[in-house]
Amino acid sequence: MKLLVLGGTRFLGRHLVQQALDAGHEVTLLHRGRSGPGLFPQAEHLVADRNGDLGVLAHGHWDAAIDTSAYVPRHVHTVAAALAGRVGQYQLVSTISVYADPNAPGTTEDAPLAALADPQAEAVTGDTYGGLKALCEAAAMEGFEGRCLVSRPGLIVGPHDPTGRFTWWVQRMARGAAGGPVLAPGEPEAQVQFIDARDAAAWMLRQAEQGHVGTFNLSGPEEPLTMRGLLDSARTALGNPAPLVWVDEDFLLAQGVGPWMELPLWLPRAQGGLLQVDITRALDTGLVCRPLAQTVLDTAAWAASAPPAPADAPPRPAVGLAPEREAALLAAWQAR
Ligand SMILES: NC(=O)c1ccc[n+]([C@@H]2O[C@H](COP(=O)([O-])OP(=O)(O)OC[C@H]3O[C@@H](n4cnc5c(N)ncnc54)[C@H](OP(=O)(O)O)[C@@H]3O)[C@@H](O)[C@H]2O)c1
């Protein structure tokens, strides 16, 4: 198969390209040449900024294109125009943030989508990200009518994750006994969902090979996992003997602890639906999730040896509780 990856040198796309090359596919990447310099010398690299001229796409034919780097509908329109019918299947990597009510549990692909107050807006912020991706989806359906697949991943985790969210928990557990008791947030039985980037990539590649179309929530694991299950698995995989201390939501919120970023994967009850989307359709089309321990161990190994982000990398929001803050919160919880 001739595969075009729009992106492909950072995280999800990087795994996708690696797997495609391993499977013997002929891969072309389009990127600006900033992330992952020197990666994949055996592939064809088209260097362009998709906010500008896409003349580099003027020649060639691909069986499938997987677009990991479209954030505003203009990105999709320009690719559709540049490829002018010289691609079979087009896959847009969207997000579960497209839903109008992302907090409702059990959301299926048919749920209503978010609408932006200003459909011309292009600034990607926490408020506009989902609405913009919904417009990207509409642009994809129009520009690649009848041959478009949209995946809506939940939290993507694993080696090379630049966001540091799941990785923070892995590194927290990797501190072992020296890290002391672990603050475990909220309801032990609250469901959590995420997908190893390598499993998402394998599913996407399979859909490309089979030319499937449609819209798919893409998260894991296959069987529902609780916050307790996640933290216990990570502790066991990394051999951390320190106990978990469950601290309830009201206390954490009263102490000003920030859900999701300061305490990754923790969401207040009212927002828990974001971690309970319906993934039946992805499972029915071949999604396989590797054992959690493998994701934990591989993420730990990668994080321990990952080079620091390049100086010119865009700034990222802070992630995770500082050790002193965690200790102070635990002391206050126990003293209440
Ligand atoms: N992370 C999550 O938890 C999560 C959850 C749901 C959905 N998603 C979606 O998953 C997708 C995957 O992101 P990723 O970072 O893992 O993908 P990736 O393909 O590994 O990395 C992004 C790629 O896009 C290229 N790129 C960025 N801006 C560009 C531009 N203006 N012109 C040309 N190329 C550009 C980058 O290379 P250069 O920097 O060299 O240009 C890089 O190759 C995103 O669409 C995101 O919305 C992520």
Report the CATH number at residue 112. 3.40.50.720
Indicate if 229 and 112 belong to the same structural domain: no
Average pLDDT, the chain: 96
Structural domain of 205: 2-157+195-218
Ligand 1, residue 155: give the atom nearest the CA.
3
Mutation probe of ligand 1 site: the residue of 29, 68, 122 with most atoms within 8 A of C-beta: 68
Spatial separation of the C-alpha atoms in residues 63 and 147, rounded to whole Å = 11
Indicate if 175 and 201 belong to the same structural domain: no
Tell me the percentage of the chain whose pLDDT exceeds 90. Answer: 94
User: Is 323 within the bounds of a domain?
Assistant: yes
Q: Please name the amino acid found at residue 102.
A: P
Q: Which residues pair with 6 in a beta bridge?
A: 30, 67
Indicate if 94 and 177 belong to the same structural domain: no
Q: CA dihedral in degrees (91, 92, 93, 99; nearest 10)?
A: -130
- End-to-end alpha-carbon separation of the chain, Å? 62
User: Is 282 within the bounds of a domain?
Assistant: no
Residues with CB under 6 A from ligand 1: 7-14, 31-35, 49-51, 68-69, 93, 95, 153, 155-156, 163
Instruction: Please tell me the residue having the least CA distance from ligand 1 atom 27.
Output: 69
Indicate if 207 and 61 belong to the same structural domain: yes
Spatial separation of the C-alpha atoms in residues 15 and 19, rounded to whole Å = 6
Confidence band for 150, pLDDT divided at 50, 70 and 90: very high
Q: Give pLDDT, residue 309.
A: 73
Q: Give pLDDT, residue 198.
A: 99
Q: Give pLDDT, residue 274.
A: 95
Burial class of residue 155 (count of CB atoms within 10 Å of its CB; 0-12, 13-18, 19+): buried
pLDDT at 317 over 80: no
pLDDT at 314 over 80: no
What DSSP assignment string belongs to 205-239?
A: HHHHHHT--EEEEE---SS-EEHHHHHHHHHHHHT
Distances in whole angstroms, Cα of residue 279 to Cα of each of 49, 66, 105, 153: 33, 20, 12, 10
Residue 279 has which token pair? 């993934």
Q: Average the pLDDT over 234-242 and give the result.
A: 97
Ligand 1 midpoint to CA 68 (Å): 5
Q: Give pLDDT, residue 316.
A: 76
Confidence band for 315, pLDDT divided at 50, 70 and 90: confident
pLDDT 10s digits, 164-214 = 999 999 999 999 999 999 999 999 999 999 999 999 999 999 999 999 999
**Total domains present in the chain:** 2
Q: Average the pLDDT over 91-117 and give the result.
A: 96
Indicate if 14 and 114 belong to the same structural domain: yes
User: Is 90 within the bounds of a domain?
Assistant: yes
User: Is 175 within the bounds of a domain?
Assistant: yes
pLDDT at 277 over 90: yes
Alpha-helical runs (H) found in the chain: 12-22, 73-83, 129-143, 165-174, 197-210, 227-238, 249-254, 280-284, 292-305, 323-335
Q: What does the buried/exposed string (b/e) look like for 321-334 if buried means 16 or more CB atoms within 10 Å of the residue's CB?
A: beeeebeebbeebe
Indicate if 201 and 264 belong to the same structural domain: no
Indicate if 126 and 241 belong to the same structural domain: no
Indicate if 37 and 136 belong to the same structural domain: yes
Q: Give pLDDT, residue 312.
A: 72
Of 179, 203, 218, the domain-final residue? 218
Ligand 1 midpoint to CA 238 (Å): 30
Indicate if 124 and 90 belong to the same structural domain: yes
Ligand 1 midpoint to CA 162 (Å): 10
Ligand 1 midpoint to CA 31 (Å): 9
Spatial separation of the C-alpha atoms in residues 324 and 64, rounded to whole Å = 49
Mutation probe of ligand 1 site: the residue of 27, 30, 31, 279 with most atoms within 8 A of C-beta: 31
User: Is 286 within the bounds of a domain?
Assistant: no
Ligand 1 midpoint to CA 319 (Å): 19
The candidate with the shortest Cα–Cα distance to 94, out of 46, 148, 47, is: 148
Indicate if 80 and 181 belong to the same structural domain: no
Ligand 1, residue 197: give the atom nearest the CA.
16
Indicate if 177 and 200 belong to the same structural domain: no
User: Is 279 within the bounds of a domain?
Assistant: no
